[in-house]
Amino acid sequence: MRKKRAKRVVGPAGGRRRKIDPRLQQALSRAAADATIDAVIMFRDQGKGAVGTKKSGPEKAVEQLARTEPIEYNFFPNLGAVAVRTNSRALKKLLDLPDVTTATVNELSRESP
């Protein structure tokens, strides 16, 4: 079986390129509006600052969106990534954030402990 590669698509932020995993795109297209999807989102040039500094722009944006949408999230600031569990509507809003570079399905969330 051939491994699928993430498609490169032009993002909304000035033509920047981002990679969205085909499995995540499929999950988004098949999911009902309130169905839960687990994903990992990577942000551009985040995590290069010193530990303990102010929150990054993407982190602030996710926190702000979480005030109005049902989003569970866990930031990994040194990696410039966030793991989220949310519905497809909110996930699409997260993917529209300008600093998103890559997004994929969070497969670890499906494994049993």
Q: Are strands 7-10 and 17-20 parallel, antiparallel or unpaired?
A: antiparallel
In this predicted model, what pLDDT tens digit does every residue of 74-99 receive, in sequence order?
Answer: 999 888 999 999 999 999 999 999 89
Residue from 108, 107, 85, 80 nearest 21 by CA:
107
Residues 92-103, buried b or exposed e (16+ Cβ, 10 A)?
Answer: ebbbebebbbbb
Confidence label for 51 from pLDDT (cuts 50, 70 and 90): low
Question: Which residue has tokens 């942000």?
Answer: 43
Q: How many Å apart are CA 12 and CA 47, to the nearest integer? A: 22
* pLDDT confidence of residue 84: 97
Q: How far apart are CA 84 and CA 111, in angstroms?
A: 16
Reported as a single tens digit per residue, the pLDDT across 34-43 is 789 999 999 9
Domain range 17-107, CATH architecture: 2-Layer Sandwich (3.30)
Kindly report the average pLDDT of the chain as a whole number: 81
Window from 15-19, 31-35, 94-98 with minimum mean pLDDT: 15-19
Return the structure tokens found at 62: 């996710």
